[in-house]
Structure 1
Amino acid sequence: MKTAPVLAALLALLLVTPLTQAQGSAQPAVQAIASYSKAQLEQFANAYRSIVILSREYAPKLKAAADIQEAEAINQEAQGKMVSAIQSAGLSREEYQQIATSLQSDPALVERINEILQQKSAQD
C-alpha cells in the first residue's frame, strides 16, 4: 500500500498553517516573526524534536498498514501524540503552526531554531 501521501498529510497537518490563516497580509506575519521569545523558540524546538521522533516511529507503521482503514487509525493515533507533544512543550497547535510557517520565509529564524536544536543535542 502506498502510505507516503498519508504520511505527508500527517506532517502537513501539523507543520503548515491552514490556508485561511495563510491568506492574511504579509505585514502581520513579519511582526509575528519578530515577536517570538527565546522561550517560545525553545518550546518549538522541543515540540519539533518530539514530532521528529514520533514521525520516525510511525512512518514504518504507516508503511506496514494492511489497508487504508488501518493507515487512517495509525495516522489519527500519531496526530494525537504529536498534538500532545506540542502541548507538552508549552505551545498550542496554532502557535506551533505559526512558528513553523514563519520558518519558511525567515532564514534568520531557521538559524535560531537550528542553534537551539544543536544545543539540545549537545546536552543529550
Structure 2
Amino acid sequence: MAKRWLIFSVSAVVLAVAVTGCAHDSHSGPSMQESFSENEIERFVDSYLGIIDVMERYTPMIEEAESHSEVQQLRAQSEQEMARVLEANGLSPEDYSEMAQAMEGDPEFQRQVKSTIDEREQLR
C-alpha cells in the first residue's frame, strides 16, 4: 500500500502528460474549497488503482526493453491502456488530472481519497 500511495503523484502527472500531451497550469485546476462527490472520488480511486496496475505491469517490460523503439512501443501501449482505464471509469484525462491536482492542495480531499484507497486495498 505504501508503494502505491507514494507513486500517486507520479502516476497523475505521467497520465496527464501522456494522454493529453500537456501539463495543466496550476491555476487552471479547482479551488481548494471545491469538493467532489463520493461517486467522483470512487471513480477517481478506481482509475488510480487501474493506472497503477498498468504501470506495475509495463515498468519491468520497459526496463528490460532492448531498443529505443521497443521502449516507445511499450510506452504507447501503456498509455492506451491508461486511457482505457479512465474511459471505463467515466473520467477524462483532464478530469483525472484536475482531481489529482486538487488532492495535492486540499488535505481534506487527500484524506478522503486515501481512505477510499485503503478500503479498496483491503478488499483486494
Is TM more than 0.5 here?
yes
User: Taking structure 1 as reference, are residues 112 and 55 closer, same or farther at Cα in structure 2, changes over 3 Å only?
Assistant: same
Q: Distance in 2 between matches of 1:24 and 1:120?
A: 31
Provide TM-score, normalisation by structure 1: 0.78
| Structure 1 segment 61-76 matched on structure 2, within 5 A | 61-76=61-76
Deviation at 1:81, TM superposition (A): 0.1
The answer to whether 1:22 aligns with 2:20 is no
| Identity across matched positions, percent | 21
Q: Distance in 2 between matches of 1:36 and 1:112?
A: 10
Moved over 4 A (4+): none
Q: Hey, what does 2:108 align to over in structure 1?
A: 108
Verify the 8 A CA contact 2:45 2:113 in the aligned structure 1.
yes
Deviation at 1:123, TM superposition (A): 2.5
Verify the 8 A CA contact 2:54 2:82 in the aligned structure 1.
yes
The answer to whether 1:34 aligns with 2:37 is no
What is the root-mean-square deviation in Å for CA atoms of aligned residues? 2.3
Verify the 8 A CA contact 1:15 1:97 in the aligned structure 2.
yes
Q: Distance in 1 between matches of 2:74 and 2:91?
A: 24
Deviation at 1:24, TM superposition (A): 3.2
Provide TM-score, normalisation by structure 2: 0.78
Q: Secondary structure, in 3 states, of the residue corresponding to 1:30? A: coil
Query: In proportion to residue count, which structure has more helix?
Result: 1
Deviation at 1:74, TM superposition (A): 0.2
Query: Which deviations, in whole Å up to 9, do the C-alpha atoms of 1:50-88 show, x marking residues without a partner?
Result: 111111100000101111111010000000000100111
Gaps of 5+ in 1: 1-9
Q: Distance in 2 between matches of 1:53 and 1:40?
A: 20
| Structure 1 segment 74-89 matched on structure 2, within 5 A | 74-89=74-89
Deviation at 1:104, TM superposition (A): 1.6
Verify the 8 A CA contact 1:15 1:101 in the aligned structure 2.
no
Structure whose alpha-carbon radius of gyration is higher: 1
Number of paired residues? 111
Q: Distance in 2 between matches of 1:81 and 1:54?
A: 7
Verify the 8 A CA contact 1:15 1:100 in the aligned structure 2.
no
Amino acid in the other structure paired with 1:42: E
User: Taking structure 1 as reference, are residues 15 and 115 closer, same or farther at Cα in structure 2, changes over 3 Å only?
Assistant: farther
